[in-house]
Structure 1
Amino acid sequence: MKNHLLFSIQNKLSSLSSAERKVGVFILEHAKDVIEMSTEELSTKAGVSPATVIRFCQSVSNEGFTAFKLKLSAESMVDKKLYQEINPRDSIEQVKDKLSLRIQHTIEQTNQKLSDNSIQQAAQLLKQSDRIYIYGMGASNVVAEDMTQKFLRVGKTVIHSLDHHLITASLSAQHENSVLFLISNSGEKQESIKLAKMAKELHVARIVMTHNANSELASLSSIKLIHDTSEENKTIRSAATTSLIAQLYALNILYYSYIVLDFDENIDKLSASHKIVRDYF
């Protein structure tokens, strides 16, 4: 899948060093010109050292400057406004184009970050567990609710609540052969961290879905499911939308990986569930 280099630069600017940020800003404003530049020329234009240009390319694309320019040339004709945040002057068509670009980028980044091995381990753990406890706050609760209805339909016992006290009480009483599934974009929500600590003390396996592999919550996990690294924007917060999409996308990969572990049996359960709902409602 194609990776959107210019969007990656825009998305990572705030996490770069001040010198590398100068390179990124210059490239975003002069993408076509940079294709024809040498490392020395770009460093002079951006006001940094040639070594900074090399470090920037490694930070953004894990490649050298020549390979970086090849990727850049493929995107040089794209309207750079598409990589900017949504603003009041945008037409509906521009909003569509910006969001579709971000969503595609989010899915591509999630495919790179989400470990196949972690998905397989999580699916097996969910299969072997008698009970699944699910917790997520804010937008992550949307994903928690989606996960709840999905796994209920294939016959799993699922306990989901926004009340972390209720989760704590229930898990402490029925922790044998249970698994705790925590969803947190930042991985730093104290309620989720405390639940993970409690579950660890009870020797309950913890599956954590987050974008922050270095978060405290991730460090408390048995299995980490890492999705894209979109950052929150302080105005319209389109990244909040794409992070939710990343979580839902990662969840569906996990769900279908679970389904195929016992495909015929799970399909029969889904069909029976669908028939009951159709017949009575």
Structure 2
Amino acid sequence: MLPPPAALAAKVRTLAPSMTRSMQRVAEALVGDPAGAAALTVTALAEHTGTSEATVVRTARVLGYPGYRHLRLALAALAAEQAAGRAPAVTPDITVDDPLAQVVAKLAHEEARCLADTAAALDTTALEAAVAALAAARRIDVYGVGASHLVGQDLVQKLLRIGLIAHAPADPHLAVTTAVQLRSGDVALAISHSGATTDVIEPLRVAFDRGATTIAVTGRPDGGIGQYADHVLTTASARESELRPAAMSSRTSQLLVVDCLFVGVAQRTYDRAAPALSASYEALAHRHGPHDPAEDHR
């Protein structure tokens, strides 16, 4: 299935950092002027970008199109969509002098675009396969460091509440030692925006070698993490800046993917997930009611 036109710009933003410089020039020309690019033949686009016809075709395939003809159709559709809409009213660049109201507006705009980009580019076939593996898993290990570990913890606490056995080891050495215990029927899920974090790749590799089903949530599907993942879920990120590093901007899209996984698993296991959720709500209900100080002394 071909990506929808709206996914084209999102895929370029997500995949461009991992492309060769010549492919980046082609990709930049595509999203910079989709209408103009759609009017060019493969030869003309190669000349326009100072590349080759083979580079143009490779770029089209990396973006999910069988060939340049399919890409041209998507470019024409994207140009039509852009013509019917309006350019965003705010820019993503945050400066040290921006008033907080402007910071809020810029961050909200970037977060929304990041979520839209991730949703547009997400491979739903890979998502379905990942959901099926998680729903049937005997045990689930989730690996991540820094901000990605926080996302992993979010997924684990949700899975625990619907009765699944899940862990998110914080210590990299512990992650490897627990991965050694995995086997066929288990799932290891690794989260890394860069796709190159050694402390995440190593336990995923061990789990892969042990026969567990492996899932990667990453902004760089061609990074080292991809070679040990049975299923890859690609995330987008907002523009990185001095005041907003990649770890912050990528967390938004990672959380979206985590929510998609959780809801998919809860749907698939509803008969046991619903009672488990009800039980967890009931067990915690007294902690969310009015607090009586006298109870502390009984």
Same fold per TM (> 0.5)? Answer: yes
Alignment partner of 1:89 out of 87, 97, 102 = 97
Tell me the C-alpha RMSD between the 2 structures. 3.9
CA contact (8 A) 1:115 1:226 kept: yes
For 1:156, the aligned partner's letter is: L
With normalisation by structure 2, the TM-score equals 0.72
- Once the 2 structures are TM-superposed, how far is the Cα of residue 234 of structure 1 from its aligned partner? 4.5
Per-residue CA distance 1:213-259 (angstroms, 9 max, x = gap):
1111012101111111x366241126433310100001101110111
Query: Is 1:254 aligned with 2:290?
Result: no
Give the Cα–Cα distance (whole angstroms) in 1 for the partners of residues 203 and 212 of structure 2.
11
Give the Cα–Cα distance (whole angstroms) in 1 for the partners of residues 160 and 257 of structure 2.
18
Q: What pairs with 1:1-281 in structure 2 (closer than 5 Å)? A: 17=21, 50=48, 62-63=71-72, 70-74=80-84, 78-79=88-89, 82-175=90-183, 177-228=185-236, 230=237, 233-237=240-244, 239-279=246-286
SS at match of 1:173: coil
- Once the 2 structures are TM-superposed, how far is the Cα of residue 35 of structure 1 from its aligned partner? 9.1
Give the Cα–Cα distance (whole angstroms) in 1 for the partners of residues 138 and 27 of structure 2.
53
SS at match of 1:177: coil
CA contact (8 A) 2:92 2:110 kept: no
Give the Cα–Cα distance (whole angstroms) in 2 for the partners of residues 250 and 133 of structure 1.
16
With normalisation by structure 1, the TM-score equals 0.75
Q: How many residues align?
A: 265
Give the Cα–Cα distance (whole angstroms) in 2 for the partners of residues 85 and 279 of structure 1.
45
Range with greater deviation from structure 2 (88-97 or 252-261): 88-97
CA contact (8 A) 1:20 1:52 kept: no
For 1:246, the aligned partner's letter is: S
- List, as ranges, runs of 4+ consecutive aligned residues in structure 1 with deviation greater than 3 Å: 1-25, 48-55, 57-60, 62-79, 173-176
Compared with structure 1, are the counterparts of its residues 90 and 35 closer, same or farther at alpha carbon in structure 2 (3 Å cutoff)?
farther
Give the Cα–Cα distance (whole angstroms) in 2 for the partners of residues 11 and 204 of structure 1.
28
Per-residue CA distance 1:150-178 (angstroms, 9 max, x = gap):
01101111122111221222332353532
5+ long unaligned stretches in structure 1: 41-47
CA contact (8 A) 2:190 2:217 kept: yes
For 1:178, the aligned partner's letter is: D
- Once the 2 structures are TM-superposed, how far is the Cα of residue 184 of structure 1 from its aligned partner? 0.7
For 1:266, the aligned partner's letter is: A
CA contact (8 A) 2:156 2:166 kept: yes
Range with greater deviation from structure 2 (167-176 or 258-267): 167-176
**Percent of pairs with identical residues:** 21
Compared with structure 1, are the counterparts of its residues 135 and 75 closer, same or farther at alpha carbon in structure 2 (3 Å cutoff)?
same
